[in-house]
Amino acid sequence: MEKANGLLWEVSLWEFVFVTIGLGGGAAYLTGRAVARAWHSKVELAIDVVLLTLASRFIHFSLFKGTLTSLHYFVVDLIVLMAIAFLGYRITRSKQLSRQYSFMYRRKSLLGWEPK
């Protein structure tokens, strides 16, 4: 398969959706949930997502003949996975605060809370 480089994907759109959004995004969402449930900081989540991005780039390289050391596609994957991880973190934190501290906070939306 010849490489059809795009701005967001290196080999094909299907490969980007499957590896980065499907596999990596699922793992990033669960990582965000786990970090929030353990009451860890966002810095720790960011470090975990960088490591997850390295794993995602390795899957692109080993299964789909992508480049392992491409800075451009690493940054694209990092941005996508970081957004998904912080979404999982924020949803979980919103649930936590509204359940555990229901005397102080109420859930405002899927991603937010407000003081009572």
**Residue 28 domain-assigned?**
yes
**Residue 48 domain-assigned?**
yes
pLDDT for the residue numbered 115: 86
Q: Which of 19-28, 33-42, 77-86, 95-104 has the lowest mean pLDDT?
A: 95-104
Does pLDDT of 5 surpass 80? Answer: no
Question: What domain count does the chain have?
Answer: 1
Residue 21's alpha-carbon distances to 1, 41, 68, in angstroms, are 21, 24, 18
pLDDT for the residue numbered 4: 58
pLDDT for the residue numbered 104: 86
Does pLDDT of 7 surpass 90? Answer: no
CB neighbours (10 Å) of residue 26? 12
Provide the 3-class DSSP secondary structure of residue 25. Answer: helix
Does pLDDT of 25 surpass 60? Answer: yes
Instruction: Write out the residue range of the structural domain in which residue 74 sits.
Output: 13-115
**Residue 5 domain-assigned?**
no
For residues 32 and 50, give the distance between their C-alpha atoms in angstroms, rounded to a whole number: 13
pLDDT for the residue numbered 49: 98
pLDDT for the residue numbered 1: 43
**Residue 22 domain-assigned?**
yes
- Per-residue pLDDT tens digits for 38-97: 999 999 999 999 999 999 999 999 998 888 888 999 999 999 999 999 999 999 999 998
**Residue 7 domain-assigned?**
no
**Residue 38 domain-assigned?**
yes
